Chain A
Amino acid sequence: MISDKGFLVLESGEVFSGLWQGDERALERAGEVVFNTSHSGYEEMASDPSYFSQILVLTAPQQGNYAARDEFRESRALWIEGMVCVEMQNSGRDKAWREHLLQQQIPILTDVDTRQLVIRLRDQGTTWGALVRQPFTETARTRAHELIDAKKTKDLDWAHAVSLREPQTISGDNPTGPRLAALDFGCKANSIRELKIRSREIRIFPSRATSAEIRKYNPDGIFLSNGPGDPKDVQQAVETVRELLGWRFMFGICMGHQILGRALGGETYKLGFGHRGSNHPIKDSLLNKIYMTSQNHGYAIRQETLPRSAVVTHINLNDGTVAGIYDRENKVMGVQFHPESHPGPHEAAQLFDFFVGKTQ
């Protein structure tokens, strides 16, 4: 077994020890430390651009159980800065998930008291941290702070960092379906798959596309994707969306939803430790049902700052936060969770039908 002592050091100086997997192949890295409670879907999570710049702590203790498969990828790359869990399968059979991470120089820390760590994150909120391979806690702290400081000074427009640079056009599977524009803030592949089967064409625009560029394409509807980071730090998008309000029907997911909220004049705020998992109950008054959803977000829209025209249609039953809005006047709807799932339950996929229905 190639493993060694390693640490997750939080910005506060708190140290969680564990075993560093994979020798020198993995780099020491810093990121925002977040936890996800899904039982499965490690590959989808690691390749979800929304996890850009984040160290992912998985509460399900055994990871890498079913190896890795290309079709589980949600984007072209793995975006996480590290994976923290209790145990990572290190198996000779199949192509081990562990190997995929190590090839990308992504650190894995196992044997971590993830329960204590999660309770820390829950009680004191999301924080920065770094994964370091050091023999002692003191050296670990020093090294971690260097990494964290360096990471924090980088450009904060994370959506831009993961977005496409040039527009890309994809033909859809439904010849009678709409033509859609998608604004890419770090879009998961399954959102595109869900749109593809319902539309005749999709053009994906970079996160900083202007309203003029989109108007030029003349789509029947506009999709605003998920993406990483604080919506306040995303440049151009709020302006673009504001200029498109009331023009064509827009549907935002996660970051897309937050951008919509801001474009409508609402405020967004950082949640204590976010919602990340596959078991979040949502009360949907649009479809009139309650279902479990996949979630991955650290920010939310503040309900009282929204204009009158925007109705809160979805509520997270765990904490009552805004999970979806609908604005008839401005022709927009947004949901804070992930109807495209991957990982997670599929019940909310109907919202794509709802959206497509509004574009025709």
Chain B
Amino acid sequence: MGRKADLKKVVILGSGPIVIGQACEFDYSGTQACKALMQEGLEVVLINSNPATIMTDKEIATRVYIEPLKLPYVEKILRQEKPDALIPTLGGQTALNLALELDSSGILKELNIELLGATPAVIRAAEDREQFRSILDAVGAAYPKSCMVRTFERGMQVAQELGFPLILRPNYTLGGGGGGVAFSLEEYQVKIAQALHESPTSEVLVEESMLGWQEFELEVMRDKSGTFVVICSIENFDPCGVHTGDSITVAPQQTLSDAAYQAMRDEARKIVEAVGVQTGGANIQFAVDPETGVRKVIEMNPRVSRSSALASKATGFPIAKIAALLAIGYDLQEIRNDITGTTPCCYEPALDYIVTKIPRFAFEKFSGTKDYLTTQMRSVGEVMAVGRTFKESLQKALLAMEESDLGAFPVTLDEKKLAFPNSKRIYHVFQAFREGMTVDAVNKITQINPWFLEHIEELMHFEKRLEKEKLNVGLLWRAKKLGFSDAAIARLGGQTSADVRKTRWQNKIHPAYLQVDTCAGEFKSETPYFYSSYFSPPQAGKFPPEIVALLGSGPNRIGQGVEFDYSCVRSVRQFQKCGHPVAMINSNPETVSTDYDTADVLFFEPLSFEHVLEILNYVRPVGFVGQLGGQTPISLMHRLVAEGYKLLGSSLEAIDLAEDRGLFIKICQELKFRIPLSGMATTLQDAEAIAERIGYPIICRPSYVLGGRRMEIVESTEELKVYFTRHGSFISANSPCLMDQFLDRALEVDVDLVRGPDWTVIGGVVEHIEAAGVHSGDSMGVLPPQRLKPEICRKIEKLSQRLADRLGILGFLNLQLAVRDDEIFMLEANPRSSRSVPFIAKATGIPVVDLGVKGMLGLKAAEVRPEQYVWQNATGVSVKGVVFPFKKFPDSDSILGPEMKSTGETMGRGSDYAEALLKAVVASDLQLPTSGEVFLSLREKDKEELFSLIQSLSAMGFTLSATAGTASYLHQRHVECEVLKKVHEGRPHCVDRIRSGQVAFVINTTSGRTSIEASFGIRRSCVDFSIPCITESDAAQAFVLALQKRKQGEFGVNPL
């Protein structure tokens, strides 16, 4: 047996930019697979358009192509590489769909490339719902009654047959995109139209609702000899109706009897076989009626999925790695289990702990969208926690959410928040029991299985004891076993967390660190993968004295995502090279950093002060690293240093100088940097006075924000008042409102540099494509800068260096600057690795993270030889593209502003700006129309600026339409243009036009709250119908440049 003999070169497809439903779990799976296949001595070619990932690091594969995951590009790469095989099962739905396209195009046959892991027939059998249902019939599995709908009319008939509520599932979309639950005819009509549009094949499965049923998932694997194993069973806390990615889940399943579980397992095996999965991982979802035990199959994915990442972390079984090895021909029994080192991989993990996953949401960033959870996934990240009991595990998971050090903090009970699933429901479930509701009552309202509710009830009963009784050792031990944080115990007992910690330490109450070993202790294992629990007595840790502790970035959220995991993971090797083993601390199951073989030791733990401190006490590191995990570690640094731990790299003082706005302004003044005029207001009155001084437009934001939350551009006193009404609760004497002069039309740049004691390396300067005002995470960027004058660029580099010297940075510094009329303004400094670091590293080839580590460790110039790293030496042009989740948030506005909203990024690499731009745009999944109508609605100041662009659109053969103002401007200049009504001018108006599908793309620039609100419908209709809608004039220029390049049709593909 063993691996296929004729296999030399394999292509792995990644999953592209991070979007909701397809996030960094595929970075994890792809990276793991690449590593495994490289170890096998294969030539591995990786294709992915996402620069923020570990897998697109040059060292991960033999050759890495950062190119769009689109047919023409991949085809070209395949022709260039001529691989023996391609593995499409590790890059999510994107890779599977692409594999189908490659198959249909004939290229695979032509080049004789074998698809490994899943054949087109298998992909279709699992993904095509009708085909899948006939397979289910054949194996005797039940499924919800449903009908495939291809037209609106048929949709109406089906609704009558099945009755409400109904579930809509469009074919071939990821994360249930375009799907949802309809409770009424009215709601259904809207949703079915949209769902039909959303499906690439215009097919929607309309399904009877299983609301209130229990939901389960099995993560299974099969090898070519037919050996079948269940790696992990997962039970959803939330009953059916909530997308499994949005549900709180528990592993292994808890409430099924062995008989019911084994019947489910048998069915899963039959389905996997009938679908024809030859090798690899698959995931099958079931619904079970809690009353009758009747079981129905919801869906199946014949590939590694989001749940596989969770299952891998929950069990310690490396699903993606094994899937890759199975794909190249091994059998499960031939692969050794890394964890035990003695037994084969052919077994089912046994868990002696409970794992809880809680999703993290970002509804607050998409005002307009109601916070309800449905079958369409909306969460942007997740945490996982491990405990010996469900209670310990759940409470740890709540702490890992980084929302409050209380975990399940008290809320004002709202029965609606119990009845309708939403992102805060868990807190209301706790509150319901806190206020004495019974398990029966809560079960009736929520339909959450009583088994879960009983545990939460027990926790809340215990809270009462903590309130009433004096804290003694017994009670404290019990509280810790139940997962209560020191802060929660302190709140209930009227103490401070420090008091509780002191009592705890005096009585030697510490957690034990238990091993995740895949076998519940049955076999000896050396895997350094740990979680904390109070169910075992604490023991002293034994670690090498040079070890450093690395704080990860916790759950993904908008503004803090995979980019930070990149820095964390990348740094590990460098620390090791410098003689420091690494203890990784993180709570995010989707990441590479939480893979057990990334660092020397892994602590899968909440990034709360209490948990991190206990780990540091256990590990006794020479220092901890806080510059790599985004804002999360920054917020813990002060307290950890106060406990006597050494912060590696930049000192706390240096961090504060950059982080504290007041101090930072002083430094800038001292260095004679221009900064936007600014002030700090605690009341509206203050604010008005400050506005008087600095003049509108002004950027307002509460202090200490990440990703620009609640940050807005305010253009008048009127708007300032509205701002204070809306965000007043976040503004106080402790957290004043920061007000900065807004540099209208300025060019923005990001600089990432690393500094050592006697050296600095500029990693690169990224020029934003959009003008100042769009959050740096949302704007496209280009390296090297295209518009910035070389002498200004040099000046910027000098300024950056001076600032780094003054702050005393050791390690990373990210700067945001703006340039207007050749004047440079310093906007912001982040004393840490940043979102742009991976992009810069890949664009310039400079090992920015490695250098940052050397800087943190204080290596001297003589060792580092910084002069060899010159970012200007990079060949070609790299453009960063962005992707947004607006589609998943109905009624949210897609206009870009100072609050970050994007979930992921792409990278386009080309020999010139246009080529790089085109690739970045294509990779971001923007449709590039070649003909049709362009609708224009421009604000006054953009009209002239965009005139030549409009002319070139005409020349390219596009027809034009516009709102009255824009149209008359064009008419005056003899440009043909149809006039469309604005929404308030009566029908048919421009939005009707867009919704009817007559518009190819839209350029809509506005400013000011009122006109932004008035043009909302334009942008929203574009989002709903996947029509490009450009909301900024510089972005419009770039988009048209990409269109022109597209017309020329030539492009190259090159590995890093």
Contact = CB atoms under 8 A, between A and B. Distances in A.
A66 B347 contact: no
Contacts of B256: 40, 66
Contacts, number: 142
Contacts of A317: 333, 343-344, 346-347
A253 to B, nearest CB: 18
A87 B255 CA distance: 14
Contacts of B454: 89, 91
A41 interface: yes
B520 A118 contact: yes
Contact of A62 (B225, B269, B354): B354
A200 interface: no
A292 B390 contact: no
A65 B536 contact: no
Interface in B508-539: 514, 519-524, 535-537
B257 A40 contact: yes
Contacts of A89: 451, 454
Given A86-B389, A318-B343, A345-B265, A291 B228 contact: yes
Nearest to A116: B536
Contacts of B390: 62
A38 interface: yes
B347 A279 contact: yes
Interface string B328-367: 0001110000000001101111111110000000000000
Contacts of A163: none
Interface string A66-84: 1001011000000000000
Interface in A217-248: none
Contacts of A40: 253, 256-258, 261
Given A41-B258, A317-B344, A290 B332 contact: yes
Interface in A306-340: 317-319
Residue among B261, B349, B389 having the largest count of chain A Cβ atoms under 10 Å: B261
A66 B261 CA distance: 12
Contacts of B351: 39, 60
A35 B519 CA distance: 12
A119 interface: yes
Contact of B255 (A66, A69, A114, A119): A66
A10 B535 CA distance: 20
A344 B348 CA distance: 11
Nearest to B522: A37
B352 A122 contact: no
Residue among A60, A62, A69, A343 having the largest count of chain B Cβ atoms under 10 Å: A62
A343 B352 contact: no
B193 to A, nearest CB: 43
A281 interface: yes
Interface in B235-279: 252-259, 261-262, 265-266, 269
A87 B451 CA distance: 13
A280 to B, nearest CB: 7
Contact of B347 (A44, A113, A280): A280
Residue among B269, B354, B390, B522 having the largest count of chain A Cβ atoms under 10 Å: B522
A41 B252 CA distance: 14
A59 interface: yes
A113 B539 CA distance: 13
A113 B536 contact: yes
A292 B257 contact: no
B341 to A, nearest CB: 12
A344 B390 CA distance: 23
B233 interface: yes
Contacts of B450: 91, 93
A1 B961 CA distance: 74
A289 to B, nearest CB: 6
B520 A289 contact: no
A346 B333 contact: no
B354 A61 contact: yes
Contacts of A283: 333
A279 to B, nearest CB: 4
Contact of B520 (A37, A43, A66, A113): A37
A278 interface: yes
Contact of B350 (A39, A86, A346): A39
Nearest to A39: B252
Contact of A277 (B344, B350, B354): B350
A111 B332 contact: no
B255 A118 contact: no
Interface string A269-305: 0000000011111010000011110000000000000
A279 B258 CA distance: 13
B535 A122 contact: no
A341 interface: yes
Contacts of A318: 343-344, 347, 523
A281 B347 contact: yes
A111 B225 CA distance: 42
A39 B262 CA distance: 11
Interface string B214-232: 0000000000011111000
B388 interface: yes
B233 A345 contact: no
Contacts of A278: 258, 348
B345 to A, nearest CB: 9
A122 B233 CA distance: 26
A145 B169 CA distance: 64
A66 B257 CA distance: 6
Interface string A85-126: 011010101000000000000000001011110110011000
A119 B520 CA distance: 9
B333 A122 contact: no
Contacts of A160: none
A318 to B, nearest CB: 5
A61 B348 contact: no
B507 to A, nearest CB: 17
Interface in A23-47: 35, 37-41, 43-44
Contact of B524 (A43, A59, A122): A122
B139 to A, nearest CB: 14
Nearest to B478: A111
B522 A72 contact: no
A342 interface: yes
A61 B522 contact: no
Given A40-B257, A66-B255, A59 B350 contact: yes
Contacts of A114: 352
A60 B352 contact: yes
Contacts of A61: 352-354, 388-389
A71 B257 CA distance: 11
Contacts of B266: 346
Contacts of B228: 291-292, 347
Contact of A122 (B229, B262, B388, B522): B522
Nearest to A64: B451
Contact of B262 (A66, A281, A344): A344
A69 B226 CA distance: 34
B74 to A, nearest CB: 36
B451 A86 contact: no
Residue among B353, B524, B535 having the largest count of chain A Cβ atoms under 10 Å: B535
B352 A118 contact: yes
Contacts of B347: 279-281, 292, 317-318
A280 B255 CA distance: 23
A86 B253 CA distance: 16
B451 A342 contact: no
Contacts of A38: 258, 350
6 smallest beta-carbon distances between A and B, as pairs: A41-B258, A343-B258, A37-B350, A59-B520, A279-B348, A118-B521
Given A66-B257, A290-B346, 18 more contacts: A37-B519, A40-B261, A59-B352, A61-B353, A65-B451, A69-B257, A72-B259, A111-B481, A116-B536, A118-B520, A118-B522, A122-B523, A122-B524, A123-B524, A277-B350, A317-B344, A317-B347, A345-B265
13 contacts: A37-B520, A62-B389, A72-B257, A91-B450, A91-B454, A289-B225, A290-B346, A292-B347, A317-B333, A318-B344, A319-B343, A344-B262, A346-B266
